[in-house]
Structures are given as structure tokens and as C-alpha cells.
Structure 1
Amino acid sequence: MLHHLFHRLLSPIRRVATTMCGEGSGDKPEEAAAGPAPTPEAPPGTPWQAIVASVAGASHQRVGLPNQDAIASQTTRQEGIVLCASDGHGSARYFRSEIGSRLAIEVGLAKIRTFIDRSEEEDDERERWARLLEHEARDRLPREIVLAWREAVMAHAAANPRPADATAAANPADDPPPESAPEPASPTEEPGEVPIDAYGATFLAVAVCPRFILYLQLGDGEIVTLEQDVADFALPRDPRLLANETTSLCGQDAWREFRVRLDLFRSNRPDLVLIATDGYSNSFATDQDFLQVPGDLWTALRREGPAYLERNLAEWLTESSNLGSGDDASVGLLFRMPCEPHLLEAEGSGTKEEVSP
């Protein structure tokens, strides 16, 4: 039953890979996924591109709740790009979490761009610069993101007080409080006040610039890299994130809960980086099934070009969410095209073939 469900979840992307590789009817998706030979790394100076999509889950649509996810990308100076995603917790206690996720994206993009700008002020000694950059990434940047988010949340709460008779709409998929979230507001709280935890949300980000790539994560969701057709999780799993438990921006000392990875570009860069909120990744029963997706998307990018994914990604997310978790689903991709769209080196030859879209 579960295997059949995965076939259906993967089918929108897998059908593309099967058709483009010309390997039959799609009855053997594992073989179709093999695709062409590994792609050479994009030439230096090739710009990074981003594609993002976010859809409201079926469970939210049925009761008229908004999409709690937010996702966006932004370019930086000197060929850099930042991609951020956030998943609002969505249950009754977190009744403004769709706003919290949007604010997380706004402050995350701004603070990470500032971090990249600071990184350009290189110390004369490279090793010293690398140590300082690592410290900034692991300590200063998470603090700045959390502080800026809390300030933005408090400003929004002050400008939009809660009416005395307001009641929060309950989420049918009511999730337990995030593990690191503060205790609910005390009964003596004034009716017009809105507690910070009402805006609770997760945070995921990837920043790429010519000299390094940075991965940040607080809470659930996934960041996956694809390099030479091998997909892997960019960050270690947090063993505390079981079922619906998650760390959160509204938690006490939330900056301490960030998982951070900083890679200086001394060797190969990934071909593609994927960010997904848990509404998408939870639509797959195993990590192995989920890890097939980046390779399929990369094949589609190389064969059909970015515009094809931009047109279809939201539809694929909707199908996966409807058949799987029923939750809001968001996916963001960062990639560098090794060649012009519709041109791909033919497997087993040194020539390029044109592929019709």
C-alpha cells in the first residue's frame, strides 16, 4: 500500500524523467531515474538561479485556513543568492503563524544578505578569515535572525491588538507545542495583547556566493544537496523532532537551536540544493523515496529548462500534499545550469543533443 502511494506521489516528477530519458512507459521508475551521465560542474561565473513554489494543504483548505508556509529567494551582490523558507505552526495556539512565517522570510533574507556583505571584508590571513566567518555563521547570525524576528513580531502585535472577544480558530491537525516554545501567556494577560508564540514558525535557509555556501535550519523541514547525481541531507537530523514536535523561532533561546553548516568552496559545488517544508517531505514514507526527488528535478531542469519547472512545480506539490500529508507544502530550488536549456550532453558521447520541450 505504501509503495503504491509513493509511486503516485513521485509520479508527476518521475513521469517527466521517464519520458525525457526515453526509457519506456514508466512501469520501472527506478530505472528511469538513472537518466543521463553526471553533469560537469557549471563554469565559474555561471549565475545561480532559484525556483520556489508554495501551496496550501488540503486539510487547511477544507476549513478555510490560509497557507502557513512562506518561501522566497533574493539575489545578492557578486553573484550571490539567498533562499529562505518558513513553516508556521498553524494550530490554535499559534493563530498568527502565517504572519510569523512571512516575517521570518523578510528578516532572514535581510540578515543573511548582511552576513554575506560582511564576509567580503576579508582578513589578510585566509585561515583567520575562515575562523571568523564560521563564528559569525554559528553564533552571531542566528542571534540576529531571532532578535529581528521577535522585534518584527512585537511591532506587528502592537499595531494589530487582539479584540477582547477574539477566539482563535482551531486547526483540525492541531499540533503539540514546539519543544522549545515558551509557556502560553498567563491568564492575567490583557485581552488586547498577543503573545509572541502566536507567531511561532520554523526557519530554513541556504545562501550561496562565490566563496562559500551556508545552510541554516531551525525546526522541521529538509535541506538536500545534489552533487554528481548523489542526493544527501545537508544537515544532521535533530533527534528531538518527533511526530509534530519542532523547535521554533518563538522558543526560549531559539538561536541556540539552529543547525548550521558552512562550506568554503575549495572543491566541487553542489549542482542543486532543495529546501522543503515538512508538508512536502512528510508526503513520503521513507527518506530514500524523498531523496529521489532532487535527481528527478535536476533531470527535468537539464532537459526542459527552468521555465518548465516554474510552470509545473506548484501542481506537483498540490498532488503530493493531497495524496500524502495534507499539509501546506513549499519547495525551493537553487541551481546553476551547466548549459543552455534543452541542450544536454548525450549519454555515452561527447556531443550535445537538442531535446524538444
Structure 2
Amino acid sequence: MPASVPLWATLLQSVQGVNKARNQDYCEVQGRGTAEEPLIMAVADGHGSAAHARSHLGSRFAVDLFVEEARRFGALAQPRGDERPPSLAWLMHYAEHAFPRQLVSAWREKVLGNWARTSSHEEPGLSEEHKVLLYGSTLVGAVLTPRVFAAWQLGDGELTVVDEDGRVTVPLAPAEADLGDETESLCTPEAWLRVRTHWAPVTAPWRAPRLVAVSTDGLSKSFASDRGFLQFMAGLDERLSAEGADTVRAVLPQWLARASQHSGDDTTLVAAWHRGATPAPEPAVAPEAAPATDPAGPPVTDPAPLINPAPPTDPHGRDE
């Protein structure tokens, strides 16, 4: 692959929920996935209720601060110059313990600073925890370097990974689903203890995930089942492979707008599709005779949700 072509093609889109006063979601993607510029992606979902009246700011602060911490992590993973990089075991410990604590601490400091600068006309005498509560937000973020793939999640939303063989997983899904609208949050006391971490060394460029996506729960809630969400993500991967990132970017706002209509919530998706080099082929051998078949492979039982995440019929498994 020519050096000028990035290893990752990225997508970013956010749609405001129907009848919502403002979009509480915030998102970012940057970097190329190299040692010098790690690929960083994040989404945050402000809680939006009266008890969290400043959560649209809380979600923005969460993403901005995650990007800063992720840059530091990338620099640690592969330092420049002659400095020897730390071991993967040390990096994993840092990702699981130091990273969440530093991120939550920075977020709390940021929101309390914002309160101090802007609240002279508002209710005096609030406790520190009450002030932090006003900015409550979830967060899902990931960092990809040539050496490691790490991701963190606090609260609802999804990290979705499609591996080199096309298998779709949500590695940071909680063991038990949240009840109702309750979710873990950056405003929770000692929130760093509730951050879930995904860790995966990258042994070769072609063994990196084929697709990594972070999304707010407005997308997953638009489907009648977890299976429908996974089919959508598989279909996204198929469309990217078949048609390229530019085509998918053009229709992504329509897909998310339709999802938002079903969930009634702000809906945000950030995705990175790996288009890096593949390993060298094995030495050629005389092929065996084979019957003529469709070069795309055998048909699937129900191709619509796999090939087209937004077919003319309802992709979300719900009645119109």
C-alpha cells in the first residue's frame, strides 16, 4: 500500500434525538494509527436530565480529556528516539489502573473549574459531589497503535470490534445489563473503579482489528435485540469492504437518523476501518479443479442485514 494512503479510514457522525432540546452526545476521532500518531476515538453521552443540567458540557469535557490521556498513552507505548519502550505487562497495568484514575481526576477538576467560573448567578452552597453530578456523562474510547489496541468504557454505549476473520464482538459489554435508564457515570464517586478496560497486543499489522467502533446507546437501543445491533455492525463492515469509506460516510447520517427515530435518543457512531497491508501470500501451488461458484462466497441465510444496514424494510426489527 502506498505510504500516502492511511492504514485506517475513519467515520464520525452524531444525530440529535427527536424532540431533544440539544444533542448531549459528543465525539472525536484523530490520528493515523502510527507510532507517532496513534488512532484515538471516543464518544460520550451526557445524561441530560434535570439532575444533570450541564451534562452537555460534561460529555464534551470527557472526550477532550480522553484524547489528551490517550495521546500520553500512545507516547508511552512507543516512545520516540532511542528510549526503550516499556513492557506490554507494564502498559497493561497502566491501562487498567493509572489511565482511568488520571482521566476521572482530570474530568472532575475540569467540571469543578467550569462551575467556579460560570455559576455566580446559580444556587450557592452546593456540595462538590452535587456540582459534579450536574455534568454527568458516560464515555467509551479507544487507542490503536502498531503495538497495542486498548479501550475503556464507563457506563452504557458500545465498543464493537470486527476481527480479521469477520467475527463481531462487544468486548466491554457489562456482565449484567443496566436497569432502566441507570448507568455508571463519570460523576459517580470513585468512578475510576468502575471503568472497564479492553487490552489486546497487536502482533502484526494485518492482525489488527478490521473494524473498531465506539457508539452511544442511542444506536444499540434502536434495535429490538442485541443480535440486530451486531448484524448492523457486520453490515457496516461489509459495506466498507465492498464500497469504501466515502460511500458509507455519505449514507451514515441517514442510517443514524433512522436509528434515532426508533430509540428516541441522540445517536453517535465513530468507526475506524483497517485497510492496511495483508501478509505475503504463500508460495503458489497447482490449484485443484473446483466448480464455478460465486466469487463472493456462499450465500448467507438472510443477507439483507449483513450487506445493507439500512435496507428499504425496517432494519431495527420493529414495526413502523
Please classify the TM superposition score into its range, dividing by the shorter chain length: 0.7 to 0.9
Partner of 1:321: 260
Q: Contact 1:157–1:194 at 8 Å: present in 2 too?
A: no
Q: Contact 1:272–1:294 at 8 Å: present in 2 too?
A: no
Partner of 1:50: 10
Partner of 2:146: 210
Once residues 145 and 71 of structure 2 are traced to their aligned partners in structure 1, the CA distance between those partners, rounded to angstroms, is 10
Matched residue SS, 2:142: strand
Q: Contact 1:78–1:210 at 8 Å: present in 2 too?
A: no
Q: What CA RMSD, in Å, does the superposition of the two structures yield over aligned residues?
A: 2.9
Q: Contact 1:215–1:234 at 8 Å: present in 2 too?
A: no
Q: How many residues align?
A: 274
Structure-2-length-normalised TM-score: 0.78
Q: Contact 2:158–2:173 at 8 Å: present in 1 too?
A: no
Q: What's the CA shift string for 1:118-169, capped at 9, x where partnerless?
A: 122499998x71111011000000011111111111121111116348xxxx
Q: Contact 1:205–1:217 at 8 Å: present in 2 too?
A: yes
Q: What's the CA shift string for 1:169-211, capped at 9, x where partnerless?
A: xxxxxxxxxxxxxxxxxxx7259x9711100000101111100
Give unmatched runs, 5+ long, in structure 1. Answer: 1-41, 166-187, 340-344, 349-357
Match of residue 100, structure 2, among 125, 138, 142? 142
Once residues 49 and 56 of structure 1 are traced to their aligned partners in structure 2, the CA distance between those partners, rounded to angstroms, is 24
Partner of 1:129: 87
Q: What's the CA shift string for 1:20-55, capped at 9, x where partnerless?
A: xxxxxxxxxxxxxxxxxxxxxx99995223211101
Per-residue deviation, 1:107: 0.3
Q: 1:235 to 1:212 in 2, by over 3 A?
A: same
Partner of 2:184: 247
Opposite residue 241 of structure 2, the aligned amino acid is R
Opposite residue 245 of structure 1, the aligned amino acid is E
Structure-1-length-normalised TM-score: 0.70
Q: 1:346 to 1:158 in 2, by over 3 A?
A: farther
Partner of 2:200: 263
Once residues 331 and 213 of structure 1 are traced to their aligned partners in structure 2, the CA distance between those partners, rounded to angstroms, is 19
Match of residue 294, structure 1, among 225, 230, 233? 233
Matched residue SS, 1:118: helix
Opposite residue 255 of structure 1, the aligned amino acid is W
Opposite residue 288 of structure 1, the aligned amino acid is R
Q: Contact 1:68–1:97 at 8 Å: present in 2 too?
A: yes
Q: 1:161 to 1:238 in 2, by over 3 A?
A: farther
Match of residue 102, structure 1, among 49, 53, 60? 60
Q: Please list, as runs of the form range in 1=range in 2, the aligned pairs for 1:17-36 lying within 5 A after superposition.
A: none
Q: Contact 2:7–2:276 at 8 Å: present in 1 too?
A: no
Q: 1:68 to 1:346 in 2, by over 3 A?
A: same
Matched residue SS, 2:87: helix
Q: 1:237 to 1:194 in 2, by over 3 A?
A: closer
Identity of aligned residues (%): 32
Q: What's the CA shift string for 1:55-76, capped at 9, x where partnerless?
A: 110131xxxx110000111216
Partner of 2:19: 59
Q: 1:152 to 1:238 in 2, by over 3 A?
A: farther
Partner of 2:121: 163
Partner of 2:296: 347
Partner of 2:270: 332
Per-residue deviation, 1:78: 2.9
Matched residue SS, 1:73: strand
Partner of 1:284: 223
